[in-house]
Amino acid sequence: MIVKKLSLVVSAFFSLAVCAQETAKTDLEIKPEVKLSYLDSIKSTFKRDHLASKVDSLWMNELVSLDIYDDLTKDIQTINKDVTVDEELPTELLKRRLVAMNQKSPFEIEYNQGLENIIKSFLKNRKKSFSRLMALSEYYFPIFEDAFAKQNVPLEIKYLAVVESALNPKAVSKMGATGLWQFMYGTGKQYALKIDSYIDERSDPLKATAACSEYMTKMYNIFGDWELVLASYNSGPGNVTKAIRRSGGKTKYWDIRNYLPKETQGYVPAFLATMYLFEYHKEHGINPERAVVKNFETDTVAVKNQMSFKQIADLLDMPQSQIQLLNPSYKMGVVPFYQGEQHFIRLPKDKVATFVSNEDQIYAYVKYDSEMKSTNSRLAVKYAPKARPAAAKPAVIENGDFEFYKVRKGDNLGAIASKYNVSISELKKWNNLKSNSVAIGRNIKIKSEEEAPVKSAPIVDKKEEAIASADEKEKSAVDMDYVVVAGDNLGSIAKKFGTTIAELKELNNLTSNNIGLGKTLIISKAAIVIEEPVSTAIASNSVDTFKKKAPSKNVSEDYYVKKGDSLYSISKKYPGVTISDIKKWNGIKDEDIKPGMKLKING
């Protein structure tokens, strides 16, 4: 009996083992072999620093969102300091707190009804905004304090950046003032900030803050009063001097305030109100949101060759938006290379470690990627199909045809506007939006763009017509979703759709390479596949897609101006083409262009 039972157990054991082997064999058979792209093969050789890299996507979007800037700017310009605001804050308690602030500050902080009204207005209407601003301050305030301490400028002036730009380095006023400290073009040049097609150092937190510190020091040497320095920063030293004369020679801000421009009359109180809310936020129940990445957790690395943010993002597996956030002075999403000058890229420290440890491979890939783009661009021109010129279509759509975009987590109006090459104001107008906030899941209306006719180069060989038609196929390519099935991984999905792991992670806000069965992924535009490789060199590097590239400066064609176009945006469509080139080729003296106007590219 025992022997019989034992034999049954042994038999069952072997049956399970055989079953397990069959299952494993089946699993191995259904998993497709994934052929690595050149990018992934390069990255597989990287030495990696395993320091945890975590970036809160909500905080990331906060840093590039302009809604607080719009709200605060409007408040400062429109708040009536003479209107009493109904908000719970006893006047006597406020007076005691202002006295305490005055004792430890070089500013003359004293109670007046106008200041109380502005503080109460901020408390009533902007509590949530200040909670968000305090998260941003964890990143920017250490930069400001370091620069001000070197010049012996009061550290409290850091609060001025909240009033000026809502701590947004990409903020641009209606007058063109730019960056955290809102420098005009001329002032930026005066303080040696580089401004060209690739770089605008008014948006560089370190360099712009150093320029601001220098300005403050010079103005204090003139006026000897920090409130007057702030007033001069807002309205210019000339207006402050005129107010001093009109007041009969008085030299204190509170004595000359009524002689200053209206906006400046509320500017210094807004600064003091901001200082008060940062000092006493706990007492008013304002809970600061926490910033995951702080400035001291980042570092810079010198870039030896021109490279794009996309190339860096692909190589380091990080979202382009994070690179843009940390490097706001680069206007074109490119770190340029100027002979005899050094340029730096700021990255989280663990990404700096990966970059420095693998520089040779990184520059090899950048060179390869740039050459491939150049090759594909030339091929696109060489094999362009011969087509009859299409009749010009109206640049302005009379019937208001719209397409719809569903707002996803992490979206904001700025990102959506950039994606569809329209302005934020147009999006707000089409959707009757009063603010820059949009709810997740809402369908946003976007006016469809009409295609302008483009003259094509003559076809070289009818045998290549399939390749030439890639241009037309890509026009019909659309964003698509993909549902993850058994055996899938990000590498295989990226390979299937001609994209990269980094792009998939950015599109889907993924922080790791793990994906669950049944998850719906957003896939980038479908790639155009060439059945016959164009050259052995391309095929050997696993490049199997042919994408239309913008014609180079050596190609002559016509461009029809669309609504929302500017000479700057048009020049960006053509590598190597500048605004001056377009003006020269078309005999344009200023930058006034209109929808439907035909422009010659390369004359």
567-589 pLDDT, tens digit each: 777 877 777 787 778 888 888 87
Cα–Cα dist 142/158, whole Å: 9
User: Higher pLDDT residue, 503 or 311?
Assistant: 311
Q: 16 Cβ partners below 8 Å, 6+ apart?
A: none
Q: Is residue 411 part of a domain?
A: yes
191 and 67 in a common domain: yes
Q: What is the mean pLDDT of residues 12-25?
A: 48
**Nearest alpha carbon to residue 424 among 434, 132, 63:** 434
323 and 433 in a common domain: no
Query: What distances in angstroms separate CA 237 from CA 219, 347, 423, one per listed residue?
Result: 8, 38, 34
- Within 13 A of 540's CA, how many CA atoms are on the CB side? 4
Point out the least confidently predicted range of 88-102, 107-121, 335-349, 381-395. Answer: 381-395
Residue 541's pLDDT band (cuts 50, 70, 90): very low
CATH number assigned to the domain comprising residue 148:
1.10.530.10
Q: What percent of the chain has pLDDT over 70?
A: 69
183 and 97 in a common domain: yes
Q: Say which residue the tokens 């946003």 belong to.
A: 444
Point out the least confidently predicted range of 13-17, 121-125, 543-547. Answer: 543-547
Compute the CA torsion angle 140, 205, 510, 490 (nearest 10 deg): -150
Q: Is residue 375 part of a domain?
A: no
157 and 111 in a common domain: yes
CATH number assigned to the domain comprising residue 314:
3.10.350
Point out the least confidently predicted range of 4-8, 152-156, 301-305, 370-374. Answer: 4-8
349 and 240 in a common domain: no
Cα–Cα dist 6/538, whole Å: 63
Q: Is residue 385 part of a domain?
A: no
247 and 101 in a common domain: yes
Q: What is the pLDDT of residue 162?
A: 93
Q: Is residue 597 part of a domain?
A: yes
Give per-residue pLDDT as tens, 50-60: 433 344 444 44
310 and 265 in a common domain: no
DSSP state of 258: G
Q: What percent of the chain has pLDDT over 90?
A: 25
CATH number assigned to the domain comprising residue 432:
3.10.350.10
Point out the least confidently predicted range of 52-66, 89-103, 324-338, 351-365. Answer: 52-66
The answer to whether the CB of 75 falls within 8 A of the CB of 121 is: yes
Judged against a pLDDT cut of 70, whether residue 196 lies above it is answered with yes
Q: Say which residue the tokens 């200082």 belong to.
A: 275
Q: Is residue 365 part of a domain?
A: no
Q: What is the pLDDT of residue 347?
A: 92
168 and 123 in a common domain: yes
Kindly state the greatest CA–CA separation across the chain.
119
Among 251, 284, 317, residue at a domain's last position:
284
14's tokens: 């072997």
User: Higher pLDDT residue, 275 or 448?
Assistant: 275
Q: What is the mean pLDDT of the chain?
A: 74
Strand blocks (E) in 177-282: none
410 and 479 in a common domain: yes
The distance in angstroms from the start CA to the end CA of the chain is 99
Cα–Cα dist 205/94, whole Å: 33
What are residue 523's phi and psi, to 5 degrees?
Answer: -110, 140
**Nearest alpha carbon to residue 35 among 44, 22, 24, 48:** 44
230 and 209 in a common domain: yes
245 and 326 in a common domain: no
Q: How many helices (H) and strands (E) does the chain have?
A: 27, 10
Among 226, 257, 284, residue at a domain's last position:
284
Domain that holds residue 576: 557-601
Distance from chain centroid for Cα 315: 19
Q: What is the pLDDT of residue 11?
A: 56
134 and 259 in a common domain: yes
Q: What is the mean pLDDT of residues 398-412?
A: 69
Q: How many residues does the chain have?
A: 603
pTM over 0.75: no
Q: Is residue 30 part of a domain?
A: no
**Helix intervals (H) in 320-448:** 320-326, 349-357, 359-382, 413-419, 424-430
Number of domains in the chain: 4
Cα–Cα dist 156/168, whole Å: 18
Q: Is residue 7 part of a domain?
A: no
Cα–Cα dist 482/499, whole Å: 13
Q: Is residue 310 part of a domain?
A: yes
